[in-house]
Chain A
Amino acid sequence: MDLARHWRLKDQRYRLEGTVCAECGAKFFPPRQVCTECKSTNLKPHEFAGRGELYSFTTVSAPPSGHEEFVPYIVGMVKLDEGPLVEAQITDVNPADVKIGQRVEMVTRKLRAYGDDGVIVYGYKFRPIVNGS
């Protein structure tokens, strides 16, 4: 079940926690230990705001093991407002309504469950931004 691996990843999966370079300000997601811009190793945790733009997407109908129950589902590449490009599922939208360039926001959803008796893994997905009024 990889309990330790999922536990280690919870900060980035639950809150989009990456890193920011204390020297040059470059931001990274997933977190990096060395800045690719200035080679500094002085990186601090950074929580991304969770908003961005859909760069590209596809619909998955032949899923990897553990995701069969969710097909068909949309996987997208989201260009976060702070810079990094994140790969994530796109949820709360029908495939026909997904558009490149669409504004999206992070939500926390169920990523998979290890059977009926195993751990449930939660993490980020993105959905079209809601105005809520």
Chain B
Amino acid sequence: MSVMKPKRDVGIIGYGAYVPRFRIRAEEIARVWGGADEGVPIEEKAVPGLDEDTVTMSIEAARNALARAGIQPKQLRAVWVGSESHPYAVKPSSTIVAEAIGAAGRANHDSPLLAADWEFACKAGTEALQAAIALVGSGMADYAMAIGMDTAQGRPGDALEYTAGAGGAAYIVGPAENSLAYFEGSYSYVTDTPDFFRREHQHYPQHGNRFTGEPAYFDHTLHAARGLMDELGYQPSDFAYAIFHQPNVKFPQTAARKLGFAPEQIAPGLLAGKIGNTYSGAAMLGATAVLDIAKPGDRILLCSFGSGAGSDAFSWVVTDKILERRGRAPKTAWYVARREVIDYALYARYRGKLVMN
């Protein structure tokens, strides 16, 4: 069997979401750059405030995950942050997050902790989640945190500017017996596909336009999701919900249709139309929205995609512990509904697009 699963049963014991409060409407971007005649890929996207970045957003999501998990921060043995927008090129985001949530620091010198930043375009967070599953599954740790968080940038006027949003989620992996959703298995698939990349010292990424579709997003997403379902012997009808990476609204809808999922299976986890593509956060944040409403016994498919390229597909089954835990922190829908619309001028200021010196 080629499905990936540790010998020790593990699951998600806590999760937390974060989306910043500012929004820019896609039609406002089209007003500045033209192109509205061709239609816009989403309604609006989330924009971080001046005092927010991947570190501060990860801290809030991580605190939400800890509140739901009900464990002490010093019980964590790993804090891993997946992102393509780490504030430093060299210096981990994860140590700042770990100290802020109380998992690291002088008071914790008797509690070993791993911390590292992960990078794999939009699947950096689920790669960290795979590692957290393995760390807990191996017995090296009882609890590990994996975060996917981004404040993505698109070049002004580029197609990506309509969708490059901000947000993400934190997950704490622990023993299955203490989980709100236990892990059934995962399947990962990667190839060398240069559909989207950003060279060192460059502010904005490059992408292959339509090349980002069939050979990149669809090939990897479909292969990983089918691989997982085949290996576990499941059909789309065995899942209550499915969440896919969402660079826009159309791609995950198309992938779901090709795989045989109904629109209502993916709707609760499809947030891109309201907050944009949150990159490393996208699939993981869609999954927190689903966990906020799922019932015990529901099976959930989570399938990420990262350019470059690869997909991680996971199968989870919700337990009755979800009922007592999900109310302990703000829900994903609350963050999505919290919105302050800004115009392109404020957006340009908040995203550092104005030359000041």
Contacts of A131 in B (CB 8 A): 330, 334
| Interface segment, one of B98-106, B232-240, B257-265, B275-283 | B98-106
Contact of A108 among B49, B56, B88, B331 (CB under 8 A): B56
Is B56 in contact with A132, judged by CB distance below 8 angstroms? Answer: no
Across the interface, do A125 and B51 meet the contact criterion of CB distance under 8 Å?
yes
> Is A70 close to B, CB under 8 A?
yes
CB of B4 closer than 8 Å to a CB of A? no
Residues of the A chain whose Cβ atoms lie less than 8 Å from the Cβ of B329? 132
Interface check B208, CB cutoff 8 A: no
Does B140 have its Cβ within 8 Å of any Cβ on chain A? no
Contacts of A132 in B (CB 8 A): 329-331, 334
Q: Does B327 contact A (CB under 8 A)?
A: yes
Residue in chain A with minimal CB distance to B55: A122
Instruction: Specify the main secondary structure of chain B where it touches its partner.
Output: loop
A110 B107 Cβ-Cβ under 8 A = no
Would you call A32 an interface residue if the criterion is a C-beta within 8 Å of the partner chain's C-beta atoms?
no
- Cβ–Cβ < 8 Å partners of B102 in chain A: 15, 47
A109 to B51, CA, bound (A): 6
**B330 contacts across to A, CB distance below 8 A:** 130-133
Bound form: Cα–Cα A132–B334 in Å: 5
**Which residues of chain A are near B106, meaning CB under 8 Å?**
11
Q: How far is the CA of A125 from the CA of B51 in the complex (A)?
A: 10
CB <8 Å contact, A120 and B50: no
Q: Compute how far the CA of A37 lies from the CA of B335 in the bound complex, rounded to whole angstroms.
A: 43
Q: How large is the interface on A (under 10, 10 to 19, 20 to 34, 35 or more residues)?
A: 20 to 34
Is A69 part of the contact surface with B, judged by Cβ < 8 Å? yes
The one of B21, B53, B100, B331 that contacts A14, using a Cβ cutoff of 8 Å: B100
B334 A108 Cβ-Cβ under 8 A: no
List chain B residues, Cβ under 8 A from A45.
Answer: 107
Using CB atoms, name the residue of chain A closest to B106.
A11
Proximity bits, A114-133, B CB within 8 Å = 1, else 0: 00000010100100001111
Interface string of B325-357 (1 = CB under 8 A from A): 001011100100010100000000000000010
Residues of chain A in range 59-110 having any CB-CB distance to chain B below 8 Å? 69-70, 89, 91-92, 94, 107-110
Measuring CB to CB, which residues of chain B are less than 8 angstroms from any residue of chain A?
Answer: 21, 49-53, 55-56, 59-60, 87-88, 96, 99-100, 102, 105-107, 327, 329-331, 334, 338, 340, 356
Give 4 closest A-B pairs by Cβ, nearest first.
Answer: A132-B330, A109-B51, A14-B100, A110-B51
Task: List 14 A-B residue pairs with CB atoms under 8 Å apart, sorted by A's residue number.
Answer: A14-B99, A91-B49, A91-B51, A92-B21, A107-B60, A109-B51, A111-B51, A120-B88, A131-B334, A132-B330, A132-B334, A133-B330, A133-B331, A133-B334
